[in-house]
């Protein structure tokens, strides 16, 4: 171990597991590092998972994990949004990640912020045009992560950054990407 090392951040998808399968020795590695007194953090750019659901999944796979050690894109975005004290938001997100945004006033007609994660059910012509018009009328754009494609399920798929990039180019509005802000601080 390098001298002065206090902790390690592990990316979950592709480092500890791939396509839902835990890599050999990953659980044991985390256990051994904890026993050496290192601080452990788990990170995922998945917007679909809440901190709690991600922790539960890690535990089910044999990892010792606690909510305060897990950073998901949705948790990081909700934490950032709390600092802004928005009057209203349109959270475009599917899955357990929505749980992180329960404290925010939802407004689909005139939101101060439009927050985009993985929202496959609403990435269609009508919804995206509505977002475009709202951006042109002054709504601000927050992206949960900027990755353009994802191959974690075996085949290439458009990811959150592709949809946001299209909206940025069409509206001339630059998104703030919260997962990037986490590591800039």
Instruction: Give all strands of the β-sheet with 176-177 in edge-to-edge order.
Output: 89-92, 113-116, 140-143, 176-177
| pLDDT value of position 180 | 56
Q: How many residues does the chain have?
A: 185
DSSP letters, 4-62, are T--EEEEETBTTTEETTEEPTTHHHHHHHHHHTT-EEEEEE--SS--HHHHHHHHHHTT
pLDDT at position 32 over 50: yes
pLDDT at position 42 over 90: yes
* Nearest of 162, 145, 142 to residue 44 by alpha carbon: 145
Domains of the chain: 7-72 (3.40.50.1000), 74-184 (3.40.50.1000)
pLDDT digits (tens, 9 = 90+) for 96-139: 999 999 999 999 999 999 999 999 888 999 999 999 999 999 99
């Amino acid at each position: 171990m390098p001298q002065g090392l206090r902790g390690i951040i592990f990316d979950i998808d592709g480092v500890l597991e791939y396509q839902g399968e835990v890599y050999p020795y990953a659980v044991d590695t985390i256990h051994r590092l904890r026993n050496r007194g290192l601080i452990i953090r788990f990170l995922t750019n998945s917007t679909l998972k809440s901190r709690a659901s991600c922790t539960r999944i890690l535990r089910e796979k044999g990892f010792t994990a606690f909510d305060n050690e897990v950073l998901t894109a949705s948790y990081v975005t909700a934490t950032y949004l709390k600092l802004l004290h928005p009057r209203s938001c349109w959270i475009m997100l599917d899955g357990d990640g929505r749980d992180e945004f329960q404290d925010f006033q939802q407004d689909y007609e005139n939101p101060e912020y439009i927050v985009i994660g993985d929202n496959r059910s609403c990435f269609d012509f009508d919804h995206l045009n509505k977002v475009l018009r709202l951006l042109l009328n002054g709504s601000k754009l927050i992206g949960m992560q900027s990755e353009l494609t994802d191959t974690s399920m075996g085949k290439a798929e458009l990811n959150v950054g592709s949809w946001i990039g299209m909206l940025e180019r069409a509206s001339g509005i630059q998104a703030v990407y919260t997962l990037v802000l986490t590591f800039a601080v």
